[in-house]
Amino acid sequence: MALADLLTPITIAIQLLIFIAGCYAGFKLKIEAGYLFALTFLLFAIFDTMSMMGYGSDLLSMINIIASLSALGGVYLLVKEA
């Protein structure tokens, strides 16, 4: 079994934990960027899961660009508040 096959489920679990932390930051702490970071890491978890399942590269590319734009928006909100 390749190392990637072992590490990908661990990575997905970490991404889902970050998703939960982002939701907490958004809902409880009222940090707007939290929502975008939650979305970003949820999409990364979906990306990795679908990649493991063998889905096509076009769909994965779309998920990746949306996740990247979400992260960019989150960083923008953090910098804007500073």
- Alpha carbons 51 and 2: distance in angstroms, whole number: 15
pLDDT tens digits for range 21-60: 999 999 999 999 999 999 999 999 999 999 999 988 999 9
Secondary structure letter of residue 1 according to DSSP: -
Instruction: Provide the sign of the torsion angle of the four alpha carbons 53, 51, 20, 6, taken in this order.
Output: positive
Element at 28 (helix H, strand E): none
Contacts of 33 (CB under 8 A, 6+ apart): 25, 73, 74, 75, 77, 78, 81
pTM: 0.91
